[in-house]
Structure 1
């Protein structure tokens, strides 16, 4: 069996309904960040040493297992069929870290792919070594808490509150306004519980629709909404300009490449506007500031570094500084969001306890 037939056989084996029904599919596991960085470093070394990517990847896939091996086999198959490396990487989900896609694609567009792979591997290795980056995401934590709370509240609304309501009606007692509101809310929740999963499905379909229209990007990274927060893409842009500067290429060509790098409409329009501003004779760093990618202090630093002939170092340092500030803000939001979530849940539990048990206390007093 040749390599292509082996890949197709493996792909059909994984997607077979029998395996999904039997629950064997989860045994293939998932691709973690360390594995993505390892592949990125292998690609960088192979591109730098001008080795055959197919030979390197075929040797690499013999020592790995599970879904990770399937991803590498799929990459090998695409490369063998003549697909360029950047397009093959973009086709396969989660094969390299999300924050490396932009840099790799920009390097392929500009002809500086080896340097782009090396810098992407360096950046992703640094992020892997940061302790806070390895901590589970706040979205997973909040989603888990919300799902558990929804199940508990659903059980209370469906099973507990109707029993209490029947007790209250049998004794023909006046209920507090809070208790009446809780009973009405629980009845609405039981009757229209399907609204919440339907809303989640609508949000998911809307995301897919926006991706199809090129308003959002497929990669799950915090800078994937450049229309709302363009500064999130500034580290990627500055690192690409660093590669261009180190390779001796003109900056004008780098900005022309940026307009073709991304399929995101917001980001592409922003890059085109920056390019037109530069063609009119304006300073490129001022243009980046005018379109919310740089701050005035960063513009002054880059202008000084350009005059001093140390532009490459300044671009790389500013990119790292911006990324650290964004990570710090995200960490700060998470640190405030977690206790806020716990406090909200506590308030909700308190309202339920007070609203449901206050009539019981009144009932016991009347019986006594």
Structure 2
């Protein structure tokens, strides 16, 4: 939604320095590619050189951020936290699509479905019996919701989300396309030369303000619940096994896999392609770095790297030592040759 620099500055709590505050802003952009009528941000000194050449009409900067040179027509939007102000600006200039009250005639609602106010239910969405949908929630085209499912207020399920039976979802939850919530956990016992399936009769509980990325799978508990805590954010292509307890404000990046019965405590971060063995606890605020494999408990506040994962400083030293192996092997070979000559009596 277009607005003037002054209007945007007022809404984002920024002070204008230079430029023309009456210029209309149409969109937001990265500082390396911004053009006239766009707003950008400068939060890292490495990007200062781009400011001199930017075509942007406005740029968010922090109080006290040193700017040596800038285009004459560029307005600086000075504020305490330019990253948060820029996020607000992006939302204002690029508002989410609005979904009004609508239930598509192609949608299928089974018996005893409880619907809140101001809902959007898209074409070919299916809602199973005894399920409930809270106020202002949007179920987009082709999504499937099973029986006895509870979905709170202000949620959005993007197209082709699948929610199995008995799942409980809180308020303000976003689930992206292709995600599957509540499929069977991967549990088998090997008897008589065959794998016997362990019944998976638990459910999934997702608390408020959670976001789950596209094509992510969260398995139901074998007996109890798999839980995703308040405010946690889960990327695309993540696998969360049965009976996991994910705490509050946890971050899980793409292609992470968490085996069953793990406890991921509050504020932990699992970086991309990390793998967690079963029955492991990741402590509060711990960081599992990209492509790490965790087989044992990680203490709170620890940063680990590698496979098997070790404390970051130790893992980095080992990596540095490994890089020197070819040179060391050459030296050892030369020493072996010298020793062999000495043993043969040669000078």
Is TM-score (shorter-chain normalized) higher than 0.5? no
Tell me the TM-score normalised to structure 2 length.
0.25
Tell me which of the two structures has the higher relative contact order, counting C-alpha pairs closer than 8 angstroms and 6 or more residues apart.
1
Tell me the TM-score normalised to structure 1 length.
0.24
